[in-house]
Structure 1
Amino acid sequence: MSGNTNRGPRPVAVIVDGYSAGNFYPAAFAACDTDVIHVQSTPELIPTMAPPDLTAYRRNLVGTDESALAGLVRGLDPVCVIAGQESSVPLADRLSEAVGVPSNGSALSAARRDKYEMIETLRRAGVRCADQFKAGTPDAAVAWAEEHGRYPVVVKPLSSAASDGVFVCDGPDAVRAAAGTVLDTPNIFGLANTEALVQSYLKGTEYIVDTVSSDGERYVCGVWEYEKTLLPSGKNIYNRDLLADPDDNPVVARLTAYVDEVLGALGIAWGPAHAEVIVTADGPVLVEIGTRLNGNLHAPFHDVCLGHNQAALTAQAYTRPEEFRAGYAGRTYTRKQPAVVYNTPTDLDGVVASVDETAVAEIRARESVFFAGVKFAPGSRIKPTVDLLTSSLRVFLTAPDQATLTADYEKVRVLKDAVYRVA
């Protein structure tokens, strides 16, 4: 274990692996008069993830001895122990349970992380779900797909994130190639894929459903419609996330009712959840759910278009549960104004020689553009987009009227590839 030892008088929350969107937790807990302690579960930071800002934490605990870690965390008398990103969910479940703070517990941890166990748990609970099989070899994956008798099918890792390693396959050759790629490639967290998941293809529109729960009482804090493009390679790339308006779109109520079933079946009673659900002809069906923040969270942006953000709601759910339940339990958000998250695709391929700051400034000057993040620095390798990690920019847009938002989105589409000069 390592880290500075300065202690303070305020209560503390423990964040396990505060990568990516987890970086919004320190400010969220500070607003609830709570300090944060960081647990780094690996000896070195995971290089594929946006790193945690460790300066925002009172202390960083680094170590892999779980028993010793639990003792240290227990000594901090925390209000909660929560996952900062997807792969740390099981550890956060075990630590929170061991320390005796509000917890989803460890009994269903595997079902909240392993996508095969997730869907089988729904099936046992009688919740509508996909058909599936986990295969240790490409041949086994093909055999199941052929027996399933309907193409396309989906092949993906059992435990990853950010659309990593997900393929839509239209025949046995595509299944064999996709399963081979999954089994031969570590997941986004650097862990080996010893099995590949093969699932029935869910035809319909896909949505994000974000929630926060406190002692089993949930609030739906955002529903976003995915706009996707299926590439010839079988990769589905995500283009825009469009914020749904519950007052105008009845699908929000259908999704909410279904996700309530999912939360109950998977024992999700505390903290954030980020669900991906496809509305099929038979009704909503879960793609997957993670008990962590939406990876596209940008707290100030969400505050404008939703009036709140998932990190702040999570902090309140743990530190001021009665206040949270009085204000949010059983309810659904109101859309304050139209909003879009645009993960820009690119066909650029090479080394970034420079970033054209004029093009970046022109994007950021658009009325609707709340924030535009440039993902590749000079010297970085940029490749044609095949998943969220290989999108070239992440742009958050919101405006009081849809016409302005749409016009600015179209302008960003024109400018996106002018940002990078590629050798």
Structure 2
Amino acid sequence: MSHSSESPVAVVVDGYSAGNYYPAAFGRLGARVIHVQSTPELIPSMLAPDLSQYAENVVCSDEEVLVDKLRPYGPVCVIAGQEGAVVLADRLSEALGIPSNGSALSQARRDKYEMIEALRRAGVRCADQFKSGDAGAVTAWAEARGTYPVVVKPLSSAASDGVYICNDASDVRAAAETVLGSPDIFGGANTEIVVQSYLKGTEYIVDTVTSDGHRYACGVWRYEKSLLPTGKNIYNRDILLDADSDPVPALIAYVDEVLAALDVRWGPAHVEVIVTDEGPALVEIGTRLNGNIDAGFHDVCLGHNQASLAAQAYARPEEFQKQYGGQAYRKLRPAVVYNTPTELDGVVASVDEAVVEEISALDSVHRVGVKLAAGSRIRPTVDLLTSSLRVYLTAPDEERLTAAYERVRELKDDVYHLA
């Protein structure tokens, strides 16, 4: 039986976190959306998919069975809802013979080491690196190379989990032993780690959506970071840049090389790039939505959002390619995403809703994401996962935006009362 005569069908694999924006995005284009849950139980460490938004939820971990179940629907795409689903989505779409990035370079799009090696093979500027499951070997490589700092990180985690900047051999050994001794964000064992040359410079986010090789740059943001005494470089603000301001055109041109090297022809990509003295160099790429996405916020400051663009790229490719192919976004309003750091240490007794309301009521605040609930452990911020709030701010001018940001800074620690 074929369903293709009805409305088109989109398949989302593991629609956690940012993937929750897909059902509405495809729905607006008249597509029905089916969810594939690749694990018997939902993964507890991420914001769960809202299964009520899907026409159906297929719980299955056997790929051949999945392909047989999905084929009658004639889906327009199989798309990853989050980072961990990229490889499976690539294989399913390839097996179904529908638009796909294919599986040949899937590992290079997930594994931080393979990613950089694929760039090196393609002659694209990238970091020096080495990988091993042995902390001693990692330390020896750093010592032999003789230039510090170096970066130690897991092969395939996310959200700056387990990333250490190391200034000498003892730092490298300690970081290597810590990462090898702990699971990644998805609960998998870190059997190998990668050590890389430290890319010195300012870091940027480049978000793209591609439809059959026609790339659209849908947002470029500059990371403002704070270096902690621990050597952790934490995210503070993501600041939206004008598309024609330096170094945005150079970043987009570099990202085009990265997409080509990794054979990304379809769908969204979230790319982190550092502009070094030699030019842009890749930190990493995820062929999925920006985890920081807030569709309504992006609609206000950019006039579109990555989820709706990705849906259009698959469901209405000709329309997308004509409207967006080879183009870049236009910044409609100044905007920042503020991941608030905290020094608080203890157990949250309560969330002060009055303070949350005061922050939310600021003219320039689009949304406040309160990350902890009563009973949660709050610790001093060491990475993206341990920031206390995520606040989306946009205003007609920079002055108002800055004023609101400063007020949020004053109020952020009053949100949580500790036991």
Q: CA deviation at 1:233?
A: 2.1
Alignment partner of 1:133 is 2:130 = yes
Q: How does 1:259-274 map to 2 (within 5 A)?
A: 259-274=255-270
Distance 1:316 1:376 in 2: 34
* SS of corresponding position for 1:220: strand
Alignment partner of 1:371 is 2:367 = yes
Any conservation in 1 of the 2:8–2:315 contact (CA below 8 Å)? no
Name the aligned partner's letter for residue 298 of structure 2: H
Unaligned runs of 5+ in 2: none
- Match of 1:95? 92
* SS of corresponding position for 1:305: helix
Distance 1:7 1:317 in 2: 18
Name the aligned partner's letter for residue 238 of structure 1: Y
Question: CA deviation digits over 1:277-326, x for unaligned, max 9?
Answer: 00000000000001000000000000000000000000000000000011
* SS of corresponding position for 2:208: strand
Q: Percent identity?
A: 70
Alignment partner of 1:172 is 2:153 = no
Alignment partner of 1:419 is 2:418 = no
Alignment partner of 1:159 is 2:153 = no
Alignment partner of 1:224 is 2:221 = yes
Give the TM-score taking structure 1 as reference length. 0.97
Any conservation in 2 of the 1:26–1:56 contact (CA below 8 Å)? yes
Any conservation in 2 of the 1:166–1:236 contact (CA below 8 Å)? no
Name the aligned partner's letter for residue 147 of structure 1: A
- Match of 1:275? 271
Q: CA deviation at 1:42?
A: 1.2
Alignment partner of 1:382 is 2:378 = yes
Distance 1:44 1:232 in 2: 40
Q: CA deviation at 1:232?
A: 2.3
Q: CA deviation at 1:7?
A: 12
Name the aligned partner's letter for residue 211 of structure 1: T
Question: CA deviation digits over 1:150-185, x for unaligned, max 9?
Answer: 111000000011110000011111111111111111
Any conservation in 1 of the 2:4–2:74 contact (CA below 8 Å)? no
Distance 2:322 2:142 in 1: 48
Any conservation in 1 of the 2:164–2:232 contact (CA below 8 Å)? yes
Unaligned runs of 5+ in 1: 1-5
Residue among 105, 115, 119 paired with 2:112: 115
* SS of corresponding position for 1:207: strand
Aligned length: 417
* SS of corresponding position for 2:174: helix
Instruction: Call closer, same or farther: CA 1:275–1:422 in 2, change over 3 Å.
Output: same
Distance 2:40 2:373 in 1: 26
Name the aligned partner's letter for residue 258 of structure 2: V
Any conservation in 2 of the 1:7–1:58 contact (CA below 8 Å)? no
- Match of 2:308? 312
- Match of 1:287? 283
Give the TM-score taking structure 2 as reference length. 0.98
- Match of 1:3? none
Any conservation in 2 of the 1:37–1:58 contact (CA below 8 Å)? yes
Q: CA deviation at 1:46?
A: 1.4
Any conservation in 1 of the 2:13–2:35 contact (CA below 8 Å)? yes
Alignment partner of 1:326 is 2:358 = no
Any conservation in 2 of the 1:81–1:95 contact (CA below 8 Å)? yes
Distance 1:9 1:351 in 2: 52
- Match of 2:397? 401
Residue among 329, 333, 336 paired with 1:337: 333
Residue among 74, 77, 87 paired with 1:77: 74
